[in-house]
Amino acid sequence: MRIFLSPNRIIFIPIIAEKAYARLLVGRIGYSGSRESCESMNLAELQELGYIAPIDTVPSILEHGILSHKRAESLPHRTVAMQEIQDLRAKVVVPGGRALHDYANLYICPRNPMLLRRRNMHAEICVLRVSVKVVVDLRNVVVTDSNAASKYARFRPAPGGLAIVDQDRTFADWWTHDDQVEQWRHQAQKCAEVLVPDFVPGAYVFGAYVSNEGSGKQLRQLAPRLAITVDAKMFFQ
């Protein structure tokens, strides 16, 4: 469902911090072409989840798992996270749960504004493919309908919480709109998340996307048992 705000609702424009976040992530590329109808998601339609990571950290992830921000602080690590965004996320508490930084975050659609922002690093990073079984196997998993740091994000327990995710908008190729507020909202929806307390065991990682053959060769040397797929479009190449 496309959202158009009338002038008398302009008071609902996001707060200044979220505007800064939106401007940081926005990529003025194309147009989303989203459908007029809203299609909620269910578990049967979700094929995989994604986690963006530097290629050289994959062996550690397979050994220790995908860690929450808080747990990762105790280990030497590299990350693609932007400090400005982490500062926003540090202030968020999941309703009925814990601090957002206590959760490992997986993207429902990793081809999103975050990955676009890191497109110049495409040869150094990968998108780990994570089994959707985490949604039902692990306890206290939470689903968000947009970036968890967004003022308008909704949080619901998994797996039923997937129903709040707008499938069409989350998986749209592009998210730019003539209406700036609409664009902010859509790019937040592109970053819908699955939040897992503390960590996602490495056993749930079953493959990875890379942008080119060279990156694939590097990753195969580091993780020879991992199924690797070259997908330049995933990385906006």
User: Per residue in 79-125, pLDDT tens?
Assistant: 776 677 778 888 999 998 899 999 999 999 999 999 999 999 999 99
Higher-confidence residue of 222 and 18: namely 222
d(C-alpha 50, C-alpha 14), whole Å:
27
The position carrying tokens 């694939």 is: 216
Q: Is the pLDDT of residue 207 over 80?
A: yes
Higher-confidence residue of 24 and 151: namely 151
**Strand order, beta sheet including 193-197:** 155-157, 142-144, 193-197, 103-107, 49-54, 125-130, 205-210, 227-230
Q: What angle, rounded to 10 degrees, do the helices at 180-189 and 16-25 form?
A: 70
H helices of 145-179, in order, are 167-170
Evaluate the CA torsion angle 171, 176, 29, 25 in order and state its sign. Answer: negative
Element (H, E) at 199: strand 199-200
Q: What are the extents of the domains in the chain?
A: 16-235
CB-count burial class (<10 Å; 0-12, 13-18, 19+) for 61: buried
d(C-alpha 167, C-alpha 143), whole Å:
13
Closest Cα to residue 52, out of 103, 111, 99?
111
According to the model, what pLDDT value does residue 85 have? 74
pTM above 0.85, yes or no: no
Element (H, E) at 87: helix 83-89
Confidence of residue 10 (pLDDT cuts 50, 70, 90): very low
> Helix, strand, coil shares of the chain as percentages rounded to 5?
40, 20, 40
Mean pLDDT of the chain: 84
